[in-house]
């Protein structure tokens, strides 16, 4: 890829409701890997029952990848038989487009191929029309008040949203929630709905606790999340990890400059220590911008399996180098 091509790159991070069947994840990841798209990372967790995939490419290619991936998810995942600790409303649950190259932007501008909000709309419209899965728009492309925040779109998940939409359809003066932006009015019977959006980069960062119960993990999550007066730009929830016999404070760092992983770790570790618990390990799900760990020793965060290519820029460079070598 030329240097000018790099300035036009967009990141896309599909979140898929499957984390226990590697062969199914393989098939879904392969579906996203259309020409012009680099698959930089995949991260699956059986307790969350979820896989996070990191894609990079030019805008039009990412839209094609989104449609192909959504089709595979709808074919291979049945949410009626899906149980995990992470909230979800769709087989392809979340589809965010994220500015990366110097020419790309969150929204606006003269070129829709560089506009993440426009890409999310195009992908959402096509997923609804071609796959039959309704799409809600969130983040910078949200059309409804309050839907800039993903949790407000997802609500309490697939089952609750399905029931609410059915009740809405039967009511002549329907209450919330509004129907999908594309498709619907109800959910796909097995694949639910997809939230397609445009947002800035975030870091999915989890801290696992030993000698703690779920009540403590939830207490710490409440203390660190911004909504409850905690750290800026942090969403958090406490969840059990039955497969590991631990509990976890699962966080989204919406602005890693405001709250980097080191600050989130320190806050969770301090609260755990005050309550007789300790940090077992922490993890970054997917890839993180290099600046988020600048000057940090990963060992100080008990960061599991850290390697330099967990950084987004390093992984992209490796992928581009591999592409050049195979030409």
Task: Give the chain's radius of gyration (CA, Å).
Answer: 19
CA–CA gap between residue 143 and residue 269 (Å, rounded):
39
Instruction: Indicate the pairing of strand 194-198 with strand 92-99.
Output: parallel
Count of alpha carbons within 13 angstroms of residue 22, beta-carbon side: 0
The residues with which 54 forms a beta bridge, in sequence order, are 41
CA–CA gap between residue 327 and residue 313 (Å, rounded):
22
Tokens of 208: 């696992």
Residues belonging to the active site: 86
* Three-state secondary structure string covering the chain: CCHHHHCCCEEECCEECCCCCHHHHHHHHHHHCCCCEEEEEEEEECCCCEEEEEEEECHHHHHHHHHHHHHHHHHHCCHHHCCCCCCCCECEEEEEEEECCCCCECCCCCCHHHEHHHHHHHHHHHHHHHHCCCEEEEECCCCCCCCCCHHHHHCCCHHHHHHHHHHHHHCCCCCCCCCCCECCCCCECCCECEEEEECCCCEEEEEEEECCCHHHHHHHHHHHCHHHCCCCCEEEEEEEECCCCEEEEEEEECCCCCCCHHHHHHHHHHHHHHCCCEEEEEEEECCECHHHHCCCCHHHHCECCCCHHHEHHHHHHHHHHHHHHHC
């Amino acid at each position: 890829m030329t240097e000018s091509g790099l300035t036009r790159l967009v990141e896309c991070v599909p979140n898929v409701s499957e984390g226990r069947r590697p062969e199914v994840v393989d098939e879904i990841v392969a579906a996203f890997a259309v020409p012009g798209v680099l698959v930089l990372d995949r991260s699956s967790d059986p307790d969350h029952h979820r896989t996070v995939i990191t894609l990079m490419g030019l805008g039009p290619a990412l839209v094609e990848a989104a449609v192909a991936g959504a089709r595979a998810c709808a074919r291979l995942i049945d949410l009626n038989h899906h149980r995990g600790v992470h909230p979800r409303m769709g087989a392809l649950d979340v589809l965010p487009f994220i500015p990366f190259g110097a020419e790309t932007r969150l929204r606006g501008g003269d070129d829709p191929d560089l506009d993440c909000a426009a890409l999310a709309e195009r992908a959402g419209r096509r997923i609804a029309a071609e796959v039959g899965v309704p799409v809600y728009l969130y983040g910078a492309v949200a059309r409804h008040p309050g839907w800039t925040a993903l949790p407000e779109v997802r609500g309490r998940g697939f089952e609750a949203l399905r029931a609410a939409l059915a009740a809405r359809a039967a009511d002549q003066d329907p209450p919330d929630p509004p129907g999908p932006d594309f498709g619907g009015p109800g959910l796909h019977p097995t694949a639910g709905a997809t939230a397609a959006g445009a947002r800035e980069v975030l870091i999915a960062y989890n801290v696992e606790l030993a000698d703690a119960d779920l009540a403590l993990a939830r207490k710490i999550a409440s203390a660190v999340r911004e909504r409850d007066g905690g750290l800026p730009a942090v969403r958090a929830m406490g969840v059990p990890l039955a497969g590991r016999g631990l509990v976890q404070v699962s966080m989204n760092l919406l602005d890693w400059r405001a709250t980097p992983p080191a600050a989130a770790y320190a806050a969770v570790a301090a609260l755990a220590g005050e309550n007789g618990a300790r940090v077992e390990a922490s993890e970054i799900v997917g890839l993180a911008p290099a600046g988020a760990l600048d000057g940090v020793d990963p060992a100080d965060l008990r960061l599991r399996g850290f390697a330099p290519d967990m950084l987004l820029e390093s992984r992209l460079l490796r992928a581009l180098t591999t592409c050049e070598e195979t030409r």
